[in-house]
Structure formats: C-alpha cells, structure tokens
Structure 1
C-alpha cells in the first residue's frame, strides 16, 4: 500500500525528534506539522496536542520519528527513536531519516498490528511530498476549480486530499504559536521557528482596533437611525432621495463603513476578504477625493469654474435656439407642417427662456454652492462623481423636458395611427382580453377614421423630426451620465485588496497545486515538491468583486430600438433596485 507523507520544507534541516501531525485515513495520508525536539516529557507532548486539538478542532497525534544523522555517527539515537513507538503508539508508525552528508532520504511506515505481507512484512511504501508550510497556511484553496498539474511520473492526488492538507495546516495555527518566545514546555520546529513574524506596531494596532471600531460602530448606528426617520419617508422627500444618485452613494458609503467598523469577527475567509476589499476601496476612494479637493482649492479653480459656468450656459442656450430656428424653417430641405412647426418651436423656445432666467437668478450663489459641493469630495471621489451626475441632470433638465414632450407627442401619434390602421382592416384592440379581435364598423366611423388617419400621417414627419433631434440630445446627456456612473461603479466594486494579493503574494489565492519530481531512484521513496498554482486574475475579479449599486443597462439593443421607434420613455442608466416603468 502506498502512503503519502506531506513533510514541511522548513523541517528538512531540523534536529532529530518526533513527527507531530494529522493522519487522514480516507486518503492514506500523513500531514506532518512540526518536529518535537529533546528534551521533552511525553505527558507534556500529549497535553500540548490536546490543547491544540481543542483550540483548532483538528485531531493531532505523534505520527513517527525524524532522524537527522548529521551529528549522530552511532546508531543509538536511531534505536531510541524507534523505541518511542511504544509510548506514542500510532498506526502506521512513520520513520523518516536523512543520510549524513547526502541528499538521499530513507522513509518507511510500520504497522504493528497488520499481518505481514509477502513483499514487505509490516511495512508500506511511502511517497514523500514536500510543501511550504507558510504558503499553505496563508493560502486559501478554491475547491470549485482545483487544478492538479502533474508532470510525467508524478503521483496523482485527489481534491479531497489537497483540501484535507490545506484544512489541517490552517486549523493547526495554535500549534505554531504555542512555543513563542521560548515559553512553551516543548521545543518545536515549524515555519515560525526562526522568529515570530510580528512587530510592536502591529500588536498595538490590534489592541487599539477594538475600542476604535466600537466607538465608530456606535456613531454609524446613530446616523443610520437618523436616516431611517419617518420624516425622510414622506412622499416628496422619498421621491427626491430615490432619484438622486448622491443619496444612493451616501447610503452605500454608510453600509461600507458599517461593514468595516463592525466588531463581529468574520465567519469565513470570504467575509474577511470582502471586508478587506471594502476597506481598501474606501481608502482609495477617499484618497482620490482628497486629491480632487486639493486640486479644486488650489489657484481658486472653484471661482474660475463658477465664472465659466454662466457663459457656457448662455452658449448652450444660443445653440439650442439656433437649432430650434433651423427646425422652424426648412431643415435639410424638408417641407414641414408650418402651423405645427411654429407651435412646437415657440413652445420649446419659451422653455429655453425660462431655463436661462433660472440660471441667471442662481448666478450669485453658484460659487458658494460649488465650494460646499467640493467639500463633499472628502467623503470620496464616488460621492463627488455622483454630485456631478446630479448636477448635469439639473443643468440639462430642459433637454429632458424637450425629450419627454416630443416622445409623448410622437407616441400618441404612433398609437393613433396603429389604432386607425386596425380600423381599416376591420380589427380592434380588446382591452379586457389584451388581444386583437374582429369588429364591424359603419360608414361614418370609417369616414372619420380616414380623416384622422390622413391628418396624423401628414403631421407625423414634423413631430418625428422634433422627437429625433431631442432624443439624440437626451441620449448624449444620458451617455455622459452613464460614463460617470460606470467610473463610480468601477471604484466601488473592484476587489483591489484581492488583486494586490494576486500581484504581490500569488500563493495567498490558490487555484490548485502542481507537483515537481525531486528524486526518483530505485529503493528510495519518491520525493515530490508541491507548488501552489495562483488563481487567475479573471477568477479573482469574478470571485471577489464587491456588490455594486451603481447604474447598469436595463435594456437590450433590440428592446432599446423598439422603445425608441414607438416613442416610449427610456432610462438606459438606472439605479439598481429601481423598477422599470
């Protein structure tokens, strides 16, 4: 029978002693975690294993002996180590040995109660697999896509076997901390034998994190309770809050801060990774916002922006007036219905006049408004982008009104033409059953229908032209807002911490392992080196991407074209959770 023994590379040069680890009978595998050195008392070793088992909930035992014969020319120590099997009885009992002055290894497993076989009495063949204990401890194996890359001659390993190895090392972390600073009763060799990886600053930060998080969590809970007040749920306020992307972004920022400063420990590595990704995302967002704030307040750029806003608004108004004058004439040589053309043109010109009057009325307060709005960048770049999107929506509200008027008028004529077309074919729309049924019409109904159909057909080109022009303007504004929302959504949802781990420490996110043959010689155990395959960047994005409340397209291209053709109001970029009208 072939047994797999996972041996840490950090223990290859350790002094002789006992092998401590876990036996996995389902895979016939032994996971060695540490080497116990002399002098020790057997009862202290057993107490240590019991404490680790209680803290890490993993069954540990003494699996065998380890003999490094670099300073033991005599065989007395080897016989003494073999005699320890009577004190620490384990089935099977491993005996690993490294030859003096050589890279060769001898390894055997003895079963005391097993009946001897004809080939190897009481012994099993062992496949020795070396692994980096630190990388396995810090890595997170992703079972759904574990890839086992094996070279020629490598031994197979199952997903369950690898999961058991990673789980054993992860749960045995108390064993690696038991002998810190030489205070433990038993001297061990493991990945932290050369020194504890910590610092005074890290320890102080851990002690201070608890009270700070508790204070900030209480403050955030008060803010959440105030935002949930019934006053903000009244109809005018609730309607405004639901339409402003700034309010949505502030609500998301509150959720992010609540998650970051929560005093509850993460129940799984996925929750811990999400918390870390959220923290890094918020820090980057606030940093970019502070840089934007410093740039705005340097050289009085806010005043320059306020001074340039009124001329830009006047220029946009002049361009729209020129466009309406062009439409009220003979646009592109088309002959329009002059009466309807004049009515629509004067109606839209009056709206432009009202909008310009509103802008000039707000001119004295624009700089103060921009100054206070610029301070919101200290909450993050995404908050500033949301305010910019809402500002664009308010400044182009007249274009939105033009689009709504044109779309409603165009849709009314399209619906009238389709209804009158059914009248000519002897059909009608059944409202109750939501279908087209046959119907007989008299001569007067057909005559009136013909007149109305003719009027709508000749008025349709004028209405369609206004609808086309203002729809293009509206789509231009919506495209700009969509790009702003996509940028904010990208900052909010990118798993920056996970991407940084994948770039700097790729072994932290493991997609699987691969084995490399170190030694293959007749009469010697097969020695393999287990290496970690990092998770691809695409899977890192898909696995750890943060939930987003930003904008996203609600329509396919076919649905969008159909709505545009029939004059239905479209909102290509909407907040998540909004219902489609």
Structure 2
C-alpha cells in the first residue's frame, strides 16, 4: 500500500530543514504543515512541539528532513541529516529531496528493521485554502476530512514564520508576512460598542412591542394579521442576532450571522434606493394622483360586472329574484367602498409619503406595507368572496345531505361516519321539495361564487408574489453565495486530483484541488430559517375546497393548526 504525503506548495522553495507535521497511521499518510529551518536546538524544538500539542490537540512531530539542493550535494550536510533521525526518532522517517537539476523529486521512507522501499505519492495542496475551507458531504473519519481538520487546527503553528524572533523559524503559507489590515483592526474595535448599542436598541423595541397593552386581545389579533408587523418582528430578531456580542461557536453559527448581516444590509440598501426613486421628481404625488382614477375605474368595472351578472350572463337562465337580491347586495358594498375611498382621498398623498419613509428600514418592510395596503384596498372583494363562498357552501352541504336522505343514509355526527337510516313519507316529501329548490337555485349562486373566487385568487396571486419576494430577501444566504462566487474554495464539497509528473522509480506527484459546492447546495445548506408563512394546502386539497365552497387561506402561520 502506498504512503501518501500531503505537501504544502508554499514550502516548495524552503531552505533545508525539518518537516513538521502529523502522521496518520490509520490512513498511512503524512500531513506536512511547515519546514523548520537551521539553526535550531533539538531541545527547543521538542518543547515547542509539546506546546503546540497542548494548544491544538494534535499529535504534531518531526516527520523527517527536507533538502533543497541548489548545487552539488554536501556530504557533511547529508551526514547531519542522517543523524537527525536518531535524535527525533519518528517512525517512519521521511526524506524528501528536491534537486534543481531535475524536475522530479525524490522521497525515501525509512522504517526500523525494514529495508523494502515503499511506494510514495506526493500530494501538493494549498494550506491557506485548506485552513479556510469548510468541508461538506465527507465523513469525519475519512482521510480527506482528517487532512482538512489537521490544517484547520494548526493555526497556532502559523503564528511564527522565518522572519520572527522565536525559538524556531518556520516556512508555511504565511511566510511572506502575516495578513493584517489597519481598516480591519479599526473595524473590530469600533464594532463592539456599536453592536452593544444596536443590541440594546433592539431589546428596547422588543420589550415595547411585547408590552401588556400591545399584547392584549384586540391588538394582538390585529398585529398577527398584518404582514408589516410580522416582518418588523422578523427583522428585530435578525438585528438582535447580528448585534450579539457572543462569538460564534462553530462554522454554522458564523455563517448564519454573516448571512443575516448581509441580508439586512442588502435589504436596507435596496430600501434606500427605493426612497431615492420615490422622492425624485415628485413621484409620490404622481402615484397619489394615479391611485384615485384607478380606484374609480375598478369600482366602475365591478359595477358593470354585477350588472352583467344581473342580466343573462353568457345566455344562461338565472333565477331572477335571487339574482336581483345578490346583485343589489353586492352593489351596495361597492358604493360603501367608493365612499370610503373618497373619504380617504385628501390624506392619500400624506399616507404614501410616510409609507415611503419606511423603506429606509428595508425593502422587505416596504413590500409588507404594500401587501397590507392591497389587502385593505381589496377588502370589498374579500367580502364578496366570503359571502358567495358561504352561500355556495351552504347549498352544497344541503344538497349532499338531501342526497343521502334519498338513499336511506344519514351523517352520524358522534361517530363521524355515514349510517343507514329509515325515513317516513313526510320526511321524504319535504326532503324532495328542498332538494329541488336548492338544485334550481344552485346555478345562480355558483356563478356569483365563481366570479368572485376568480377575483379573490387574482388578489392572492399578487400578494403571493410580494410575499415570495420578501421570503427571498429574508432567507437567501447572500453571504454564502458571495463566497461561492468570489472564494469558491471556502465552501468545499470534496477534492479532486490532477497528475503533475510520473516516472518509474520516482514518487507520483499529484495536485489536490478543492471541489466547491454547487449553488443549489449552498442555498440548501445555508438558507436562513423560513419566515412566518408557508403554503397550507396541496393542490389537490385546494381544488377540493374550491369545489365544495370552503374558504381558502393559502398562507398561514407556523403555529396554526390545520382546519
């Protein structure tokens, strides 16, 4: 079985020295982390490795020697390398040699009591990418996961390099200098008091909205029905999560915090852009001037629709008395709605002006207010739908009960089943009379129910599109998607290998590259918790409810029970 050596590309040009790393006996592989340069004191090296083992929890040791021959080999240096194996005494002992005169490397593995030469596979890897990557879909006990885990836990080893004053001088991925930024350091110092202030502000708002007066029966019912209040509560939770001063315990919490922060930031930026568009060239006044003619046009179209239904729609023969009653009843509601709009017309521009200001809290909040406004402006359509659905449902239940009467059946309320039952002549006569009345009145009721259900579904579709947009702003992992786009190695699904060189008698050289997660998996894994609403019924259940006339509410809260 071949021995695999994971060698960092940053150490390829290092001077002669010792190989610091971890030997994984279960997988017969070695992970090289750094090259320790001369001069050094063996006792200091052993003390330094002991400290690293305590801080990292990894069994780090000297695995062998690294030789970079730029000229002819020095016999004294070769003899010195031979003596190092007896000082550190690690089994197996690796000897990796890079000669500038040849593009092929040489690697020997020495074991005590064994003279057989083992096959070696050199796997080049990027330490920085391995340390910053989060591996997915790989079992924790696999060899690749052990390599990633070893590099990730070896951060204390990378704190010293060959330019620092210390007991040892190392070459690793940060040998060209520690990554630092003055702006980043200043941001870290400023973020703590800012986060503390925002967290206090969010907690005050939460306590205000959870006060006993606002959580009373009428107001709590109203808040639960308004999309604006639900979205405001959701954003307050996000703000408290982002401004929390507690450090993320693991990668999952860090990604959730980062995705929430980017979601909030993007939401507010889009809201500011919306404000700049609305308050430019007096677009608020233009919208207010357009709204009244549109409302009058909608009312006129509804009146014409009702007059068409009160006549002979599509040549159908309707029950004239019931048609007249229903038409006048719905026409009266339209007149009430027109009067309401006329009463609110002087204040519409001011209302739109203040609503536009709410976009500074985020585009999602502005969309929630728009959804509530649509619900209020189409409240008469909802009333039409409820009236028509209740009347149609009453007739459908009456016809189904009378149909069971003709077959000698009845519905047992206690046992929730259909049982046999015997009826006398008077009951059958009365049931037949009621059945005929309901059957001949059904087409008129069904036509009104069909028309107003279609209008209600149109409003629901518009609100569903708005709710879907809010859902995307709340749940899409924008930070994770940006990482996948700009730093694809940060989210790894696995690794792939590309062959560099192969020659008989020499180690096989492979380049290990990171396979990034697909965008679909990124969204699936790092998607934020869903908002308060989600679809309630399947398509089959929805069609069944539409046929029998039950009221449909395609969106509901998580805590609600099924009807």
> How has the CA–CA distance of structure 1 residues 49 and 220 changed in structure 2, closer, same or farther, with 3 Å as cutoff?
farther
Note the C-alpha offset of 1:256: 1.1
Q: What do residues 450-470 of structure 1 show as CA deviations (whole Å, max 9, x unaligned)? A: 111111011111111110010
User: Which residue matches 1:50?
Assistant: 50
Equivalent pair of 1:482/1:551 in contact (CA under 8 Å): no
1:22 aligns with 2:22: yes
**Stretches of structure 1 lacking an aligned partner (at least 5 in a row):** 147-157
Equivalent pair of 2:209/2:215 in contact (CA under 8 Å): no
1:477 aligns with 2:476: no
Identify the match of residue 116 of structure 1 among 114, 117, 123.
114
User: Which residue matches 1:523?
Assistant: 505
SS in 1 for 2:143: helix
User: Which residue matches 2:476?
Assistant: 494
> How has the CA–CA distance of structure 1 residues 272 and 529 changed in structure 2, closer, same or farther, with 3 Å as cutoff?
same
User: Which residue matches 2:137?
Assistant: 143
1:218 aligns with 2:200: yes
> How has the CA–CA distance of structure 1 residues 322 and 554 changed in structure 2, closer, same or farther, with 3 Å as cutoff?
same
Note the C-alpha offset of 1:550: 5.3
1:342 aligns with 2:340: no
Q: What do residues 270-296 of structure 1 show as CA deviations (whole Å, max 9, x unaligned)? A: 221121111111111111110001111
472-481 or 494-503, which moves further after superposition? 494-503
User: Which residue matches 1:106?
Assistant: 106
Equivalent pair of 2:137/2:493 in contact (CA under 8 Å): yes
Q: Distance in 2 between matches of 1:35 and 1:523?
A: 25
Q: Distance in 2 between matches of 1:224 and 1:51?
A: 47
Note the C-alpha offset of 1:51: 3.0
Q: What do residues 156-203 of structure 1 show as CA deviations (whole Å, max 9, x unaligned)? A: xx9711000000000001111234962433211001111222211111
Equivalent pair of 2:231/2:365 in contact (CA under 8 Å): yes
User: Which residue matches 2:294?
Assistant: 312
Question: How big is the alpha-carbon RMSD for the aligned residues of Structure 1 and Structure 2?
Answer: 1.7
Matches within 5 A, 1:119-198: 120=116, 124-144=118-138, 160-179=142-161, 182-198=164-180
Equivalent pair of 1:65/1:82 in contact (CA under 8 Å): no
> How has the CA–CA distance of structure 1 residues 504 and 204 changed in structure 2, closer, same or farther, with 3 Å as cutoff?
same
User: Which residue matches 1:538?
Assistant: 520
SS in 2 for 1:186: coil
Equivalent pair of 2:162/2:171 in contact (CA under 8 Å): no
Equivalent pair of 1:20/1:34 in contact (CA under 8 Å): yes
Equivalent pair of 2:162/2:170 in contact (CA under 8 Å): no
Note the C-alpha offset of 1:3: 1.7
> How has the CA–CA distance of structure 1 residues 179 and 521 changed in structure 2, closer, same or farther, with 3 Å as cutoff?
closer
1:430 aligns with 2:415: no
Q: Distance in 1 between matches of 2:410 and 2:86?
A: 97
Aligned length: 563
Query: What TM-score comes out, normalization by structure 2 length?
Result: 0.97
SS in 2 for 1:463: helix
Q: Distance in 1 between matches of 2:48 and 2:161?
A: 10
Q: Distance in 2 between matches of 1:373 and 1:575?
A: 25
Note the C-alpha offset of 1:72: 5.8
Equivalent pair of 1:143/1:159 in contact (CA under 8 Å): no
Q: Distance in 2 between matches of 1:296 and 1:385?
A: 14
Matches within 5 A, 1:94-493: 94-112=94-112, 115-116=113-114, 120=116, 124-144=118-138, 160-179=142-161, 182-493=164-475
Equivalent pair of 2:284/2:352 in contact (CA under 8 Å): yes
Note the C-alpha offset of 1:551: 4.0
User: Which residue matches 1:154?
Assistant: none
Q: Distance in 1 between matches of 2:17 and 2:200?
A: 52
Q: Distance in 2 between matches of 1:362 and 1:181?
A: 75
Structure 1 stretches of 4+ with a deviation exceeding 6 A read none
Q: What do residues 348-385 of structure 1 show as CA deviations (whole Å, max 9, x unaligned)? A: 11111111111111112211111111111011111111
**Stretches of structure 2 lacking an aligned partner (at least 5 in a row):** none
Note the C-alpha offset of 1:43: 2.9
SS in 1 for 2:430: helix
360-369 or 425-434, which moves further after superposition? 360-369
SS in 1 for 2:279: helix
> How has the CA–CA distance of structure 1 residues 181 and 388 changed in structure 2, closer, same or farther, with 3 Å as cutoff?
farther
Note the C-alpha offset of 1:574: 3.1
Equivalent pair of 2:163/2:169 in contact (CA under 8 Å): no
Note the C-alpha offset of 1:52: 2.7
Q: Distance in 1 between matches of 2:548 and 2:24?
A: 68
